[in-house]
């Protein structure tokens, strides 16, 4: 009995457990990729606005500097080293530029995915639903179809976008 507890699993047993765990994970992942795709689509216009705001803030800081605070307030980094105003400014600018780069990368991924569904006759549903927050009824009126057609094609398009953005994990 104690031998059974102390017995180490074989490589084959480990692989089988890993495959099973991956399959279970992928079953959950499909729903997650669809929701995650919708979340990215809803966020797209907000990201574009944020990129613009951050670029304006970078330009302002470069032109005018940071808002002055009381000279009695001192900034320290974790090591206890005191930072001068130029180091603080450089750090803030570096963070803002990194945020702009990250947000720009995300919007470019979304734009590339959208370009791959541009040939679909119902691709405007994505723009109306996620970027302009129109209801299914409003979209149906705009593209001259039923609300059921809107919902059916929206799901199909988001499914295609999920595969483009997340790969095979969105297929399970």
pLDDT per residue over 130-145, tens digit each?
Answer: 999 999 999 999 999 9
pTM higher than 0.85, yes or no?
no
Task: Work out the end-to-end distance of the chain between its first and last CA atoms, rounded to an integer number of angstroms.
Answer: 40
HSE, side-chain direction, 13 A CA sphere, residue 22: 8
Residue 73 burial (CB count, 10 A):
6
Q: Which of 25-34, 54-63, 104-113, 159-168 has the lowest mean pLDDT?
A: 25-34
Q: Tell me the C-alpha distance between 33 and 31, whole Å.
A: 6
pLDDT tier at 59, thresholds 50, 70, 90? very high
Residue 156 in 3-state DSSP? helix
How far apart CA 88 and CA 80 sit, in angstroms, is: 14
């Amino acid at each position: 009995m104690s031998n059974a507890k102390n017995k180490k699993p074989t490589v084959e047993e480990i692989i089988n457990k890993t495959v099973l765990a991956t399959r279970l994970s992928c079953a959950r992942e499909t729903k997650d990729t669809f929701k995650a795709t919708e979340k990215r689509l809803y966020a797209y216009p907000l990201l574009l606005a944020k990129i613009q705001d951050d670029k304006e803030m970078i330009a302002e800081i470069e032109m005018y500097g940071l808002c002055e605070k009381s000279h009695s307030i001192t900034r320290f980094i974790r090591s206890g080293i005191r930072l001068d105003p130029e180091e603080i400014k450089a750090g803030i600018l570096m963070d803002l530029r990194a945020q702009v780069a990250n947000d720009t990368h995300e919007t470019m991924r979304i734009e590339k995915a959208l370009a791959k569904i541009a040939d679909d006759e119902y691709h405007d549903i994505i723009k109306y639903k996620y970027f302009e927050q129109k209801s299914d009824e409003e979209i149906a009126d705009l593209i001259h179809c039923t609300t059921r057609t809107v919902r059916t094609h929206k799901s199909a398009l988001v499914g295609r976008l999920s595969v483009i953005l997340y790969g095979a994990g969105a297929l399970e």
